[in-house]
Amino acid sequence: MGNTPGKIEDKNENTKHQEEKETRTSAQEIEREFEKLAELSNKVEELEKEIYNTHRGLLMSKNLLKQNKISQNNIDNIRSNIRKMENTISKVEEELKNERQCLNQVYRKVGSQKKNSILDSNHFNKMPAYHSSFNNLTNDVQLICGVPLLPLKTRTRGPAPYADPSMEFDAVDEAIQLFKPNCFFKNFEIKGGGDRLMIYGILYISECLNTLKQNMTAAEAQKQLYSLAVSNFLVPGDSSFPLRTMYTAAQNRQEHETLRQYLLQFRQEISARIVPLIYMEDTSSPSKWWLSFQKRYFMGKAL
């Protein structure tokens, strides 16, 4: 016997309820995955800040050691702590990678129509983003191509505003600090001019790392990265510049040249500051932990 209209309606209704239940379940699974990712990413960020501050402390301690103001045992203890934190960060980053793979598996379980409805609920907005702390300061500085000419702690001549001696953290420090955690992001929402400068700094650091070789000494690296910094380079706003849609074009040739000179200072300062960090443990070869980021590109882009 054929199905009666009432039974067909009941069957359709049951199917509809089942689909709605599956959709809610899938959404809940994705919600949990995003919460895990947010927690892991925040942990990585905290560890990155901790190890960066420890690196700076080690440099200060080395200077004190030269002045016989600190014992060798304290230096050895700091180095030991750095190695422990590097190992911890590597484990967290691997765990973060696994969580993202789990998230992709959840997406594949959801039909395209259901997936789109879930994505429209702004779940992606819950992913943590590492934005510039200078976004709110760009109203007080000159903007060219959307890039703020922020003060830099540098002795290199150029258009960068004079940095107050009491300034402990500038845009160069920020780019170095946020390089590793931001390398895991394929998408990034710009929230201010500080983000644009940070993006350029992160892309340049990637270029620096890809210039280094495993058997290159710190002295050789310093020379190579200086040459890289002063070599001919594209400026945001140029037609061939990566992510050019995130930047505006220069109003005239003078603005274009001013931005080039500022970024020249920015590049030179990054090159100078990053070498001591990469060669913290051994000046005869770069840190393998740093070199492991040679194949990671922020937003999948390179200069």
* Residue 290 and residue 275 in contact, taking contact as beta carbons nearer than 8 Å: no
- Residues 40-63, mean pLDDT to the nearest whole number: 60
Q: Has this prediction a pTM greater than 0.75?
A: no
Residue with tokens 């004079």: 162
Measure the CA–CA gap between 123 and 42, rounded to whole angstroms.
17
Radius of gyration of the chain (CA): 24
| pLDDT category of residue 122 using cuts at 50, 70 and 90 | very low
Measure the CA–CA gap between 266 and 279, rounded to whole angstroms.
21
| pLDDT category of residue 219 using cuts at 50, 70 and 90 | very high
Q: Fold for domain 143-300?
A: Arp2/3 complex 21 kDa subunit ARPC3 (1.10.1760)
Answer whether residue 148 shows pLDDT above 50: yes
- Residues 159-166, mean pLDDT to the nearest whole number: 83
> E strand or H helix at 54, and its extent?
helix 5-66
Return the domain boundaries, the chain: 13-115, 143-300
Answer whether residue 244 shows pLDDT above 60: yes
Higher pLDDT, 88 or 251: 251
pLDDT for 72 equals: 72
| pLDDT category of residue 104 using cuts at 50, 70 and 90 | low
Higher pLDDT, 62 or 295: 295
Answer whether residue 80 shows pLDDT above 70: yes
Answer whether residue 202 shows pLDDT above 90: yes
pLDDT for 46 equals: 64
Answer whether residue 16 shows pLDDT above 60: no
Measure the CA–CA gap between 260 and 141, rounded to whole angstroms.
16
> E strand or H helix at 198, and its extent?
helix 193-211
Beta bridge mates, 152: 162
Q: What is the mean pLDDT of the chain?
A: 76
- Residues 92-121, mean pLDDT to the nearest whole number: 51
Phi and psi angles of residue 33, each rounded to the nearest 5 degrees, phi first: -65, -40
Measure the CA–CA gap between 88 and 38, rounded to whole angstroms.
17
- Residues 191-200, mean pLDDT to the nearest whole number: 93
- Residues 236-257, mean pLDDT to the nearest whole number: 88
